[in-house]
């Protein structure tokens, strides 16, 4: 019996008063839809918590007449995506918090609060996370809604309270080890961290707002700028979602090329991480070795896509142009061969180093049970031993016809995260090799894709496995050529939420090693 | 010229002239060494990292570090608003004193030595502890939390590593019965002490790396954690004094290692001073090699390593040396 | 000085890596502290939240100091300018004086190197390499 049918049965017997509806998964990307009310939201969330669901996303949609809070749940065991919605009054939107059940929700609720003005009753710390001091309205509301005065006090309201025996350190927004502009406020007791409090939004570039103003095709370059090390994967997430929404069929050849280029991009992104992680620990040289390999990938991808970093190669229904098969295949094969040999070198340079081993083993241990509570994903999840990978769970592109394994760790410390990523690179090489072997001939683009896409009314959630984890796109369409609302569920954001938990009571050097092992990308978190 | 010098010597006394000339020589060596070392470091780093390094300014980029130091001279001297001014100004000059004094007693050759003091090594060790003081002052007066953490780390690190440093040198002193560097150098005419005291040499070298705050023990200025550590708030010439001191310290540690363990200026064919510099720069090169290969250790690991491994080992070494000499 | 903000920061890193090796010109020392920096490369989008920090950092640098605006975002806001935008500083030259603009989204590492050459030309008045003739 499929999980969703079991859930329906149990749900109906436990919560009689709530409706639960089945949704067409192919069209909408989720199995079940539940409409909650303010009174029973906690019970519903509790029901999913007991059945070991993890929370995927929490966001808001402004339908003018009402605001709709959307919660997505899923399990790590098999795919069973559930959408829970809660309608709110746009004049005075108040909702109960679920951060007491899922600690992860607390950040999402803060985000919804600052962008939509929704209040969450019982929220421990409803302060602004993203926006700057001068903001005077709720940006993602359709109408202009000014920020009331009592809310303005919450803007950047972080005021360190000096206490005895501790002091505050601002790690960032400009700091060598935060890889960009993340700011973490550390409360320190000597070298030990009492608590860590990340402040985001230094690179908030309004992608979600932009999506509402631009047509589907005009938005194409944006995802690449969200996650620049893994640009193609974000590009893919956007394109696949719109294709599913419009029902566009993609030719086989395009699927394979997508898979191969995506895996190349994944290796490039992991190499970037492989360089910067030892750099966080003080060893600068691996950085240059990793970049050396990365340049080889960039050469291949530049030949195909035309740019070095922010690729925009996939189009609705296929690709921008076909690959030069001879050149591409031989270059890729050469790279795969070279890369296989390099792993030994990395083993000697990094993994074999005693200092490196001592610095990262048993540091930053993430328990398997907590992963679910924080909604973490990607290599971060897999390092704790949960073999959850969107490529396997819900195959997209050509992953369904390629056989590969999912590397997992044991205890979820920094060493496991390192090992999982290294292994993932090797597996990506295998996928690339198999993809090239199976690469079919044929068209690279679907015929008759209209220039101006006008998808049917409705909503859809679709996720791909990007380098950092589950990257989901949620689109509400109103039959016009621009999305009514586009929501990005980004992995770095939910992964980073575990940082305050892991940084508690450790040395500052360990906390920085842990932060390095996350492989965060700031523009992706800030969107 | 020579006659003039002789008359001058007769008037003011041989020792004084020798000291003055020596100090001028030391200044030249210190500055020249810093410039050569910055260039060397960038070149070595480049080649370890599969690139070329500086090459545009002068042949092989030799003039690069010279150009950089001229640039640093011309930079504005910023004084942040809420620093502890007297201490803030004092720290960079203070760090330079021990560095210069140490040079006085190092024998570059049988003849080339500013002053042979019969407690030479004690002078070096005593003054090198002053470095810590100036780092502490710099970190404290900067009114910056990163600096403060950096300097506090530096103090506990130097205290921990001074002991094995001293103990490892003592075992050599046991063998020569002299604290004078000249005597120690002369005693190695036959076999170098590194063959008698391999353990002491290793302990000394590791502790020396820690004393000079180089990777893997560069915690006081750990870039990824503390931005630039104790000198975060220093700019222009003041910063370059710290920089100069760091590179000179590297040279001194290597020079002491050469004097105590690697036969000092003893060597065939070439003149002694050439041998001395060859050996010293070989050790400096190893220090650079360390920096560009190893990641940084963690703070507690660093202290544990000293207190739990290096100090017991060097004590044991001292005991064994004493026992064998007694027999 | 490292002031990586967004996508362009990666290309900035590439510039100092083995293939492009900015060190040839003696410019590889990315100092983490603004007090020891000469040149600020603003590589990426400057948001309103980031702006005060950026100005502070610029003021912490000892003069003589220079600024390179790297990438379209730093020059004008680039692709993120649209009607009703609420979080973007449209060009870093609104905050600090800029010496050299390097366009591109992101600029290639060669572009950044050329920007450095331009800056050198501006300071010394002489150009290191001949300007390549356009092929078309």
Nearest-CB residue to A512 (from B153, B224, B292): B224
- A268 to chain C, any CB pair closer than 8 A? The answer is no
Nearest-Cα distance to chain A for B155, in Å, is 14
Q: Which of A174, A204, A270 to mutate to test the interface with C (most CBs of C within 10 A)?
A: A174
Tens of pLDDT, residues A462-494: 888 888 888 888 888 888 888 888 888 888 888
Q: Are B40 and B60 in contact (CB under 8 A)?
A: no
- B223 to chain A, any CB pair closer than 8 A? The answer is yes
Instruction: State both tokens at B297.
Output: 């250790």
Cβ-defined contact of C88 to A206 (cutoff 8 Å): yes
Residue A132 has pLDDT above 50, yes or no: yes
Cβ-defined contact of B52 to C64 (cutoff 8 Å): no
Average pLDDT of the segment spanning A62-66: 85
Which pLDDT value is given to residue B225?
Answer: 64
C64: nearest CA partner in chain B: B75
Q: Which of C24, C38, C53, C113 to mutate to test the interface with B (most CBs of B within 10 A)?
A: C24
Q: Mapping DSSP to helix (H, G, I), strand (E, B) and coil, where does residue A363 land?
A: coil
Q: Which of residues 187-226 of A touch C (CB under 8 A)?
A: 201-206, 209-210, 213-214, 221-222, 225
**What would the CATH number be for the domain defined by A3-155?**
3.30.460.80
Residue B188 has pLDDT above 70, yes or no: yes
Please write down the HEC assignment for all residues of C38-103.
CEEEEECCCECCCHHHHHHHHHHCCCCCEEEEECHHHHHCHHHCCCCCCCECCCHHHCCCCCEEEC
Residue A406 dihedral angles phi and psi, to the nearest 5°? -110, 115
ipTM value, please give it: 0.83
How many angstroms separate the CA atoms of A330 and A264, rounded? Answer: 14
Q: Which of A289, A355, A358 to mutate to test the interface with B (most CBs of B within 10 A)?
A: A355
Cβ-defined contact of C24 to B54 (cutoff 8 Å): yes
Nearest-Cα distance to chain C for B139, in Å, is 14
Whose tokens are 């029901």? That residue is A47
Tens of pLDDT, residues A484-525: 888 888 888 888 888 888 888 888 888 888 888 888 888 888
Peptide bond preceding B216: is omega within 30 degrees of 0, i.e. cis? yes
Nearest-CB residue to C35 (from B68, B71, B235): B235
Residue A158 has pLDDT above 60, yes or no: no
Report chain C residues whose CB lies below 8 A from the CB of A173. Answer: 50, 53
Q: Which of residues 66-95 of C touch A (CB under 8 A)?
A: 79-80, 82-88
Residue B116 has pLDDT above 80, yes or no: no
**What would the CATH number be for the domain defined by A207-490?**
1.10.645.10
Whose tokens are 């749900």? That residue is A11
β-strand pairing of A119-121 with A94-96? parallel
Question: For chain A, what are the domain ranges?
Answer: 3-155, 207-490
Average pLDDT of the segment spanning A220-237: 85
Interface chains of chain A (3 or more CB pairs under 8 Å): B, C
At residue B224 the predicted structure's pLDDT band, cuts being 50, 70 and 90, is: low
Taking CA atoms, C115 is separated from A157, C11, C34, C41, C97, in Å, by 40, 13, 20, 10, 16
Cβ-defined contact of B50 to A355 (cutoff 8 Å): no
At residue B2 the predicted structure's pLDDT band, cuts being 50, 70 and 90, is: low
Percent of chain B's residues with pLDDT above 90: 0
Residue B167 dihedral angles phi and psi, to the nearest 5°? -65, -40
- DSSP secondary structure code for residue C4 in this structure: B
Peptide bond preceding C64: is omega within 30 degrees of 0, i.e. cis? yes
Cβ-defined contact of C26 to B67 (cutoff 8 Å): yes
Which pLDDT value is given to residue A76?
Answer: 84
Interface chains of chain C (3 or more CB pairs under 8 Å): A, B
How many angstroms separate the CA atoms of B33 and B37, rounded? Answer: 6
Nearest-Cα distance to chain C for B249, in Å, is 21
At residue C14 the predicted structure's pLDDT band, cuts being 50, 70 and 90, is: confident
Whether the full predicted model's pTM is greater than 0.80, yes or no, is: yes
Residue C1 has pLDDT above 50, yes or no: no
């Amino acid at each position: 019996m499929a999980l969703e049918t079991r859930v329906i049965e149990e749900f109906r017997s436990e919560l009689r008063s709530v409706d639960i509806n089945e949704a067409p998964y192919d069209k909408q990307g989720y199995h079940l839809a539940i409409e909650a009310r303010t009174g029973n939201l906690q019970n519903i969330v509790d029901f999913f918590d007991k059945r070991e669901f993890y929370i995927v996303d929490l966001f808001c949609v402004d339908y003018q007449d009402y605001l709709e809070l959307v919660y997505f749940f899923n399990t790590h065991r098999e795919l069973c995506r559930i959408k829970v919605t809660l309608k709110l009054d746009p004049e005075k939107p108040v909702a109960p918090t679920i951060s007491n059940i899922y600690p992860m929700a607390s950040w999402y609720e803060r985000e919804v609060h600052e962008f939509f003005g929704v209040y969450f009753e019982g929220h421990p710390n409803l302060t602004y996370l993203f926006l700057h001091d001068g903001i005077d309205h709720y940006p993602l509301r359709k109408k202009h809604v000014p920020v009331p005065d009592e809310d303005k006090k919450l803007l950047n309201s972080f005021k360190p309270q000096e206490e005895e025996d501790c002091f505050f350190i601002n790690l960032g927004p400009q700091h060598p080890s935060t890889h960009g502009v993340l700011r973490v406020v550390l409360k320190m007791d000597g070298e030990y961290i009492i608590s860590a409090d990340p402040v985001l939004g230094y690179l908030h570039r309004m992608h979600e707002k932009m999506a509402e103003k631009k047509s589907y095709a005009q938005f194409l370059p944006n995802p690449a700028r969200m996650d620049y090390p893994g640009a193609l994967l974000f590009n893919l997430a956007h394109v696949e979602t719109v294709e599913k929404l419009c029902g566009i069929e993609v030719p086989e050849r395009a699927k394979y090329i997508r898979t191969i280029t995506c895996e190349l991009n994944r290796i490039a992104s992991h190499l970037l991480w492989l360089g910067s992680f030892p750099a966080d620990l003080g060893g600068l040289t691996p950085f240059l070795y990793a970049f050396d390999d990365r340049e080889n990938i960039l050469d291949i991808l530049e030949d195909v896509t035309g740019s070095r970093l922010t690729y925009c190669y996939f189009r609705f229904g296929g690709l921008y142009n076909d690959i030069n098969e001879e050149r591409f295949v031989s270059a890729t094969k050469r790279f795969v061969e070279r890369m296989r040999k390099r792993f030994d070198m990395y083993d000697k340079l990094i993994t074999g180093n005693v200092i490196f081993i001592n610095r990262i083993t048993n540091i930053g241990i993430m328990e398997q049970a907590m992963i679910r509570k924080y909604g973490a994903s990607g290599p971060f999840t897999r390092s704790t031993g949960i073999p959850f990978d969107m490529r396997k769970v819900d195959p997209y592109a050509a992953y369904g016809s390629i056989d590969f394994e999912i590397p997992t760790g044991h205890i979820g410390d920094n060493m496991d995260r390192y090992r999982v990523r290294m292994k993932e690179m090797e597996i990506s090489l295998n996928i690339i090799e198999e993809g090239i072997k199976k690469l079919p001939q044929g068209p690279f683009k679907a015929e008759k894709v209209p220039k101006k896409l006008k998808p049917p009314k409705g909503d859809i959630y679709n996720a791909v496995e990007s380098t950092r984890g589950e990257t989901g796109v949620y689109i509400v369409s109103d039959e016009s050529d621009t999305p009514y609302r586009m929501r990005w569920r980004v992995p770095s954001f939910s992964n980073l939420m575990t940082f305050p938990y892991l940084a508690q009571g450790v040395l500052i050097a360990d906390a920085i090693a842990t932060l390095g092992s996350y492989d965060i990308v700031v523009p992706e978190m800030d969107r | 010229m020579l006659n003039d010098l002789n008359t001058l010597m007769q008037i003011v006394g041989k020792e004084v002239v020798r000291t003055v000339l020596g100090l001028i020589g030391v200044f030249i060596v210190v500055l020249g060494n810093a410039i050569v070392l910055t260039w060397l470091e960038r070149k070595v780093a480049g080649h370890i990292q599969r690139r070329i390094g500086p090459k545009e300014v002068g042949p092989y980029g030799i003039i690069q570090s010279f150009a950089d130091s001229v640039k640093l001279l011309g930079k504005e001297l910023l004084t942040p608003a809420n620093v502890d001014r007297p201490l803030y100004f004092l720290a960079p000059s203070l760090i330079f004193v021990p560095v210069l004094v140490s040079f006085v007693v190092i024998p570059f050759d049988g003849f080339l030595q500013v002053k042979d003091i019969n407690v030479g090594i004690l002078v070096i060790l005593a003054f090198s502890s002053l470095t810590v003081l100036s780092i502490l002052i710099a970190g404290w007066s900067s009114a910056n939390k990163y600096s403060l953490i950096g300097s506090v780390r530096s103090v506990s690190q130097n205290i921990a590593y001074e002991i094995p440093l001293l103990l490892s040198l003592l075992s050599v002193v046991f063998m020569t019965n002299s604290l004078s560097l000249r005597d120690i150098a002369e005693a190695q005419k036959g076999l170098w002490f590194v063959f008698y005291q391999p353990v002491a040499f290793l302990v000394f070298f590791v502790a020396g790396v820690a004393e000079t705050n180089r990777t893997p023990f560069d915690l006081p200025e750990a870039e990824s954690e503390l931005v630039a550590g104790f000198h975060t708030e220093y700019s222009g010439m003041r910063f370059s004094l710290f920089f100069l001191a760091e590179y000179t310290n590297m040279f001194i540690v290597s020079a002491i290692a050469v004097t105590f363990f690697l036969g000092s200026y003893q060597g065939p064919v070439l003149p002694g001073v050439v041998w001395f510099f060859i050996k010293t720069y070989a050790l400096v090169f190893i220090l650079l090699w360390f920096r560009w290969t190893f990641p940084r250790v963690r703070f507690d690991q660093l202290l544990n390593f000293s207190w739990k491994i290096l100090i017991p080992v060097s004590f044991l070494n001292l005991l064994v040396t004493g026992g064998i000499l007694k027999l | 000085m490292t002031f990586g903000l967004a996508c362009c920061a990666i290309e900035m890193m590439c510039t100092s890596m083995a293939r492009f090796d900015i060190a040839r010109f003696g410019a590889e020392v990315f100092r983490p502290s603004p007090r020891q920096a000469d040149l600020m490369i603003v590589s990426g989008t400057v948001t309103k939240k980031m702006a005060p920090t950026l100005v502070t950092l610029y003021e912490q640098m000892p003069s003589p100091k220079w600024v390179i605006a790297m990438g379209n975002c730093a020059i004008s806001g680039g692709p993120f300018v649209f009607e009703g935008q609420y979080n973007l500083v449209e060009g870093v030259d609104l905050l600090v004086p800029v010496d050299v603009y390097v366009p591109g989204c992101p600029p290639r590492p060669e572009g950044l190197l050329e920007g450095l050459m331009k800056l050198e030309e501006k300071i010394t008045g002489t150009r290191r390499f001949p300007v390549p003739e356009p092929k078309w």
